[in-house]
Amino acid sequence: MTTLKTGDKAPDFAVEDQDGNLIKLSDFKGKKLVLFFYPKASTPGCTAEACNLRDNWEVFKEKGYAILGVSADSKRRQTNFKAKNELPFPLLADEEKKVINAYGVWGPKKFMGKEYDGIHRTTFVIDEEGKIEEVIGKVKTKDHAAQIL
């Protein structure tokens, strides 16, 4: 789906999180960033993925990683998802799909025989210099932290 690959410069972005704070890629210069795109807040797969990252939050912090979740959900929906699952990291409310399109994760999908456009569950690991270190397209929702670390 995405044409971005290891070694590419990560596309810059500036989008609000669940609380209305403007979050930019440049905010993470000097840190490693796990940027994970998920189809829809509070659905089973997305909840499993976010909670797996939450459960490994201390390990990520020790290794110098920040984490950002991204979906096209509203701020309100992201706020509910974050609160309900006690997620310690921000969730971007990318309703206009600026970040989603910049990273090339929006496109045709199939579910139960129906075709539609949506977010392809994808994670980008971005290094301290803003370069893509890894692209994970086949996300294991229940064991995603292990895939990254």
Judged by phi (left if over 0) then psi (alpha if -120 to 50, else beta), residue 112 lies in: left
Using alpha carbons, list the distances in angstroms from residue 123 to 9, 19, 28, 112. 15, 22, 16, 24
Residue among 46, 92, 102, 145 flagged as catalytic:
46
Which residues in 20-84 belong to E strands, given as ranges?
22-24, 32-37, 65-71
Give the integer Cα–Cα distance in Å for 104 and 78.
21
Q: Which amino acid is at 136?
A: I
Annotation marks residue 46 as catalytic: yes
Q: Which residues are catalytic?
A: 46
